[in-house]
A and B are shown apart, each in its own frame.
Chain A
Amino acid sequence: MSLSRWVIVVSELTFEDVTVRFGTRGHATTAADGVHLTVPHGSIVGLVGESGSGKSTLARAAVGLVPVSGGRILLDGQPIDHRARRLQMVFQDPHSALDPRMTIGESIAEALPRRARDRRDRVAALLDLVGLPAECARQYPAQLSGGQRQRVGLARALAGEPDVIIADEITSALDVSIQGTVLNLVRDLQRRMRLSMLFISHNLAVVRYVSDFIAVMYHGRIVEHGPADQVLADPQDPYTRELLAAAADPAGQLDLGETSDTTPAHR
């Protein structure tokens, strides 16, 4: 593969044949298995897949929280220097994502670039951006509800002025009312700041709404990847089709009675 092909493009996140294994040789779990995926500059790639299919693992590998066992993750063609904070992540679980001993303001300020001035104003502006009152800065996570904490997580990720944001199920813990605001916010921010984003969600309707590209993950592999319209209109993989069928009919998707065991097609 010629490297020059990648160098031209700016702020593009690339997974090259990435494999992540957990555990020792005897009982290892392969969470990501030869993943190829590109998040092009200024676009949102939506990653859908069932729980445990390796979505979060991929996200954590990108920001350096788990080591990759094989393959490479590149930013603009270069191996990622995690100290440069060019990648930021918003976490899935709003309850454990904030240090219980730090105020909201401290948590956000910690993620601001070191050179940043007027830190208090910046924190207030970020809180406002995600729809929280400035007084929140003095509160502790235990005093906020789950949804409020998740917005703090988003503010913290934005504080680092990253080139790429990894958003891991950021709306799954949010109310529908706020989910709309956050999704609108995500799209708005992305358009204004030309952020690249890997947007992970199990909710296809949500992914469909924000994404330019859609990748479908199943059992650690990317089984389908392409422009959103194409994947939605003409799914190739049986699992994608199953997802689409389930999402297409929101009222029927939980028709618990008649559907036999949803044995996923790939097993």
Chain B
Amino acid sequence: MKRILRTPLGLSAAVLLLAVLVLAVIAPLVWTDQANAVDTAQISRGSTAEHWMGTDNLGRDVFLRVLVATGLSVRLALLATAIGVLAGLVLGAVPVVLGRRAGRVVTAVVNIAVAFPALLLALFFAVVIGPGTTGSLLAIGFATAPGFARLVQTLVAKVAGLDYVAAARVAGAGRIRLLVRHILPNVAEPLVINATMAAGAALLAFAGLSFLGLGVQPPEYDWGRLLGEGLQGIYLRPAAAIAPGVAVVVAGLAFHLFGEALSKGFTRHTAPVKLRRTEAASAVPTDDDAVLVVEDLRVAFPGVTPVRGVSFTVGQGEAVGIVGESGSGKSLTALAVARLIEHPGQVDAQRLTFQGRDLRNGDDRVHRRLLGTSLAMVFQDPMTSLNPAMRIGRQLAEVAEQHQGASRKQAWQRAVDRLRAVRIPDPERRARQYPHEFSGGMRQRAMIGMGLMGKPALIIADEPTTALDVTVQRQVLRLLRTIRAADGAALLLISHDITVVSQVCDRVLVMYAGRVVEDLPADELHTAARHPYTRALLAAVPDMTTDRDLPLAVIPGRPVDAAQVPTGCAYAPRCPLATERCVTAHPPLETDNGRRVACWHADVPVQVGDRGE
């Protein structure tokens, strides 16, 4: 909410709306009697000092009547919206509660109803139910309902397809509980926004109906009726028509703008990377040919700093892997590079350049363009990065349309081609399917395909093959390699699977507790790893010869909690080689012959992979 008020649009919309609402409550209380006072001496006057919007045909003050009418107009608009929202919620949510078959019928009905313009529906209902306040209230309410129902259905379908809803079902949650506890809270934001906007529309619609004589009936009056009366004498007394007209427009705008501000406020913002003292002497020699240079990158959230000074470079066409335990900050590092860290995250770095361009400043649009063209990002989480309500092919095609200016048809063809490239069988047919019709592995491949729509100079792939079986994994990794060979793209591959990384990459970075602890050529990983943590990771991988009767080798203890990183070496509590020095002083990342390691006792032989905990 604070964020919304901070923008000029949000602030003015909020103030305007508040004024309208306050007036709606106060005006009828204060001015009703005065506004109804008949003055036969002042019939149908134009603007005067006493009645500065003139008087009507009974000599009542127009301005006061407009003010008082705020109450009824706003109340009716809100009531109609409430009816519409409620009916829409019921219609939209009913498919979840009723189950498949009955749900389909409701959906079909809603789809037909949505096809009619709301105002036409309102007129239809108003005529059927008969003129009058109640009639038009129901009419506008029901006319709002289908659009809202459609919105609810779409949003609900999106959320209902996620695993946590499935998990709650398996855990025995009933359909109502699913809806109330798991689904609705997760779709509430867009609903609130739309309801606000719908209130503005209802206000206009009500004015329209009353103006036509179908809405509020005398002696009650709202803006629509005042407008109708004022219009009769518009050439003699324009003010009497203009005043209610202005009121309708202002109030309608207030609702609409506030809705707009809400929706802007709810969409997430990325936290731009803060500039830090750049005078600090650069420790890493500048490599101007490098695709990506990261120096002393830090990512902080309130209370935690999960990435604590990461430095590395990715050369032209080079494949660099990042391995490390869950929570070691691999994904955050990748997200920070792509400038995708969200509020309240803080990113800072001494250097962050991509193709020689400083990523620390420049506006968001430039970065988004970068993401669509020369920087491809393949996420760890394919389901939430694909839009469940959109066909896979369209989603891929959109990238090409937006960033490469391809025509709709070209873009679609490229999408199908990319799907084929990532070994989606029968890509023409599959492109027309929705994400939920894909298996987990296929979704991941589709994501990779999306990253490959452009001609990336760097592909950042965060756990791209985690859910794939060995045969497909091999194909996907080969695909990445082919792309690299063809386009000279560099690869930053993040994985917890040290085997995959060692096979695909030229160089491996091992991360622990938000820092790089070792950096070495991939082909030396199995023979020349020096950091005890790297060596323990290598020993913990089960293979086809592991003894099935013994517990698997594990690294004792838990990964470090990012909020409580110990002083000294973060790995010390789990390290068999730890000494006093390790606990007190943090080992620096020393460069030696192109390899880097952060350990006081690197190279000391160690009995890694003790069985059990």
Contacts and interface: CB of A to CB of B under 8 A. Distances in A.
A111 B437 contact: no
Contacts of A244: 544
15 contacts: A51-B445, A96-B163, A96-B384, A146-B380, A147-B325, A176-B496, A177-B536, A179-B552, A180-B542, A181-B552, A202-B467, A202-B469, A246-B470, A250-B544, A262-B471
B467 A256 contact: no
Which residue, B445, B472, B552, has most C-beta atoms of chain A within 10 A?
B552
Nearest to B546: A209
Contacts of B463: 146, 173
Interface of A: 22-23, 27, 29, 48-53, 56-57, 60, 63-65, 82-83, 85, 87-89, 91-93, 95-102, 107, 110-111, 131, 133, 144-148, 153, 156, 159-160, 169, 172-181, 183-184, 187, 202-206, 208-209, 232, 242-244, 246-248, 250-251, 253-256, 259, 261-262, 264
B429 interface: yes
A51 B166 contact: no
Given A56-B439, A254-B500, A202 B172 contact: no
Nearest to B561: A133
B220 interface: no
Contact of A242 (B169, B471, B473): B471
A127 B180 CA distance: 26
A85 B171 contact: yes
A97 B163 contact: yes
Given A91-B166, A145-B326, A180-B554, A169 B467 contact: yes
Which residue, A48, A205, A254, has most C-beta atoms of chain B within 10 A?
A254
Given A99-B164, A203-B470, A175 B326 contact: yes
Interface of B: 162-173, 181-182, 185-186, 324-327, 331, 380-384, 429, 437-442, 444-445, 463, 466-475, 477-478, 481, 496-500, 503-504, 526, 536-537, 540-544, 546, 548, 551-555, 558-559, 561, 612-613
Given A148-B327, A202-B468, A256-B481, A100 B437 contact: no
A256 B163 contact: no
A106 to B, nearest CB: 9
Nearest to B383: A96
A184 B181 CA distance: 34
A208 B171 contact: no
Contacts of A247: 470, 543-544
Contacts of A264: 471
Nearest to A66: B166
Contacts of A64: 169-170
Contact of A254 (B168, B181, B467, B504): B504
Return the 6 tightest CB-CB contacts between A and B, nearest first.
Answer: A51-B441, A147-B326, A202-B469, A254-B503, A111-B171, A180-B552
Contacts of A23: 437
Contact of B499 (A51, A52, A53, A254): A254
A138 to B, nearest CB: 13
B499 A177 contact: no
A176 B537 contact: yes
Contacts of B471: 50, 242-243, 246, 262, 264
A255 B441 CA distance: 21
Nearest to A113: B172
Nearest to B481: A256
A177 B442 contact: no
Contacts of A93: 163, 381-383, 440, 467
A147 B472 CA distance: 23
Which residue, B168, B324, B381, B471, has most C-beta atoms of chain A within 10 A?
B471
B497 A176 contact: yes
A259 to B, nearest CB: 7
A91 to B, nearest CB: 5
Nearest to A173: B466
A144 B561 CA distance: 10
A97 B475 contact: no
A132 to B, nearest CB: 8
A51 B468 contact: yes
B96 to A, nearest CB: 14
B543 to A, nearest CB: 5
Nearest to B429: A27
Contacts of A160: 171-172
A101 B189 CA distance: 13
A256 B477 contact: yes
A86 to B, nearest CB: 10
Contacts of B166: 60, 65, 89, 91
B471 to A, nearest CB: 5
A231 B477 CA distance: 28
B490 to A, nearest CB: 17
Nearest to A146: B326
B171 A88 contact: yes
Contacts of A89: 166-167, 170
A97 B164 contact: yes
A208 B546 CA distance: 9
A251 B500 CA distance: 9
B522 to A, nearest CB: 11
A247 B499 CA distance: 12
A111 B167 CA distance: 9
B544 A52 contact: no
Which residue, B167, B173, B475, B612, has most C-beta atoms of chain A within 10 A?
B167
B182 A99 contact: yes
Contacts of A96: 162-164, 381, 383-384
A203 B466 CA distance: 10
Nearest to A136: B561
B504 A256 contact: yes
A175 B322 CA distance: 13
Contacts of B331: 145-146
B498 A176 contact: yes
B290 to A, nearest CB: 24
Contacts of A100: 164, 186
B327 A145 contact: yes
Given A145-B331, A173-B467, A262-B475, A184 B554 contact: yes
B258 to A, nearest CB: 24
Given A101-B185, A148-B327, A250-B543, 19 more contacts: A50-B469, A51-B441, A51-B442, A63-B170, A83-B172, A95-B380, A95-B383, A99-B165, A100-B164, A153-B167, A156-B171, A176-B497, A177-B536, A178-B554, A178-B559, A209-B552, A251-B526, A256-B478, A262-B471
A53 to B, nearest CB: 8
B164 A98 contact: yes
Nearest to B444: A51
B470 A202 contact: yes
Contacts of A51: 439-442, 444-445, 467-469, 472
A99 B162 CA distance: 9
A87 B324 CA distance: 34
A87 B478 CA distance: 39
Nearest to A202: B469
B193 to A, nearest CB: 18
A173 B330 CA distance: 14
Contacts of A65: 166, 169-170
Contacts of B383: 93, 95-96
Contacts of A208: 544, 546, 548
A101 B559 CA distance: 25
Contacts of A246: 470-471, 474
Nearest to A169: B467
Which residue, B172, B326, B475, has most C-beta atoms of chain A within 10 A?
B326
B420 to A, nearest CB: 13
A131 to B, nearest CB: 6
Contacts of B381: 93, 95-96, 146
B283 to A, nearest CB: 29
B440 A56 contact: yes
A24 to B, nearest CB: 11
Which residue, A53, A93, A156, A172, has most C-beta atoms of chain B within 10 A?
A93
